Amino acid sequence: MTTTTEQLEQLTQAAAAAAPVWRRSDAATRASWLRAAADALDAHGEELVAIAHEETRLAEARLTGEVGRTTGQLRLFASALEEGSYLELTVDDADASATPPRPELRRMLTGVGPVAVFSASNFPFAFSVAGGDTASALAAGNPVIVKAHSGHPRLSRRTAEIMAQALEGAGAPRGSLALIEGREAGNALVQHPVIQAAGFTGSVSGGRALFDLASGRPDPIPFYGELGSVNPVVITPAAAGARGEELAKGLVGSFTLGVGQFCTKPGVVFVPEGAGFEDLVARFAVDAEGGPLLTERITDAFPLGVAHLEADPSVTVVAEGRPTDGAQPVVLATDAAAVVDRPDTLLEECFGPVTVLVRYSSPDQLLAALRAVPGSLTGTLHSEPGDDVADVLEVLERRVGRVLFAGWPTGVAVTWSQHHGGPWPATTSLHTSVGATAIRRFLRPVVFQDAPAELLPAVLRDDALASLPHRRNGVLRVP
């Protein structure tokens, strides 16, 4: 099913008509709309999980948990609306004695307008129709038009139907949420003059193409894309010696989780040469199970990606997992010098259950290879007390959006403090796509100068400010 030009025009006009209602809605009203959508999705959870299982081949237990994460995120944003700090309310009172004289200035953040959201394949709930981009855009006060992913079209349609009905049933205007299908319709959507921002999760090539379309418009719009990430891991010699078996087991569990289709999969692991860590990984990897991948396109691409890595003369196969109907896990190894020489080959993301161990023999060799790693969502450092890791940490901080000191990067908590982003190509911006502050992507600042109180937005009037976090004349005030 492909959305026609006429259908797209109808949907964008409905979103344009709904936008002022969303922008003017107060926190309690908007929060109630989000909670209504969350409640409706939970009520239809079994139905949606069954459809998702048929289309994506992901396990029902995993999908059930993902529904909970998705509705929990909607409720998190509802709470963020009621808390109010996301508005960044700021007031400078008039001061005739200042040089130059200062007018009264009242600043807030407001919704940008209708937002386009492009669904991902690997999280059919949490990064799809009702996912984080949609939730944060709605919370910011914007209608959303979602481009469905071709990997789960029936799920996308049913999710959109349930969510749109719940929003309208709770009092939100018609046009609050809509769904389109087809690549051409998606390209047209991001270029449509009604759309004021776009969120995307997917491949570097697909995201870059849409990014260029968004930037090339007569009126360019922000494009928030989460693209590729190899998520480097550094294991120090002391850590390998103290808990090598534990780390090896954890690595295998992480890079094979979801058949290696998490955007936070540890794809490149820097290990000390001669520490025996490769043998430990091989011991656990031979029993690792793979499975079917999400789509035919991903299924076809995985062996080609592995073959591309294996073709490098420095690469050896450390271990392969159990043969399976689908992708077979594989652990490869190379050395730091090769990574420095050929980063475009050895540090290219391969979507699926594969990870690359990179041997290093000195701190300088490790740092040189680590600096070649492209921007990533996460970086993990496994070290021991007394390790001198300041330089490693400095490189990781500059290359990733989240630094872990324990555990593994697969799994992203949906919280106020979470950051799911990083330097290019991890994302096209410095914003997060997960957690409460993801709302900031779909807001813009507006200042009112010497405005009569009755013409100010309600949240900028003194009676409302008394109960909201705000800054006045440089002083932060929290009720």
Return the structure tokens found at 168. 């309208």
Is the sign of the CA dihedral 81, 262, 288, 240 positive or negative? Answer: negative
- In angstroms, the CA 69 to CA 240 distance is 34
In contact, 449 and 105? CB cutoff 8 Å: yes
Token pair 């004349």 in the structure block, residue: 473
Q: Evaluate whether 163 touches 40 at the Cβ level (below 8 Å).
A: yes
Instruction: Identify the active-site residue in 55, 226, 278, 349.
Output: 226
Question: What CA–CA distances, in Å, run from 98 to 102, 225, 355?
Answer: 6, 44, 61
DSSP letter string over 52-121? HHHHH---HHHHHHHHHHHHHHHHHHHHHHHH-GGG--EEE--BTTSSS-B--EEEEEEE-S-EEEE--S
- Pairs from 385-389 (Cβ < 8 Å, separation ≥ 24): 386/238, 387/236, 387/238, 387/239, 388/363, 389/234, 389/236
Pairwise CA distance, residues 191 & 198, whole Å? 10
Q: 350 an active-site residue?
A: no
Token digits of residue 251: 């690595």
Of 55, 263, 349, 350, the active-site residue reads 263
Catalytic residues: 226, 263
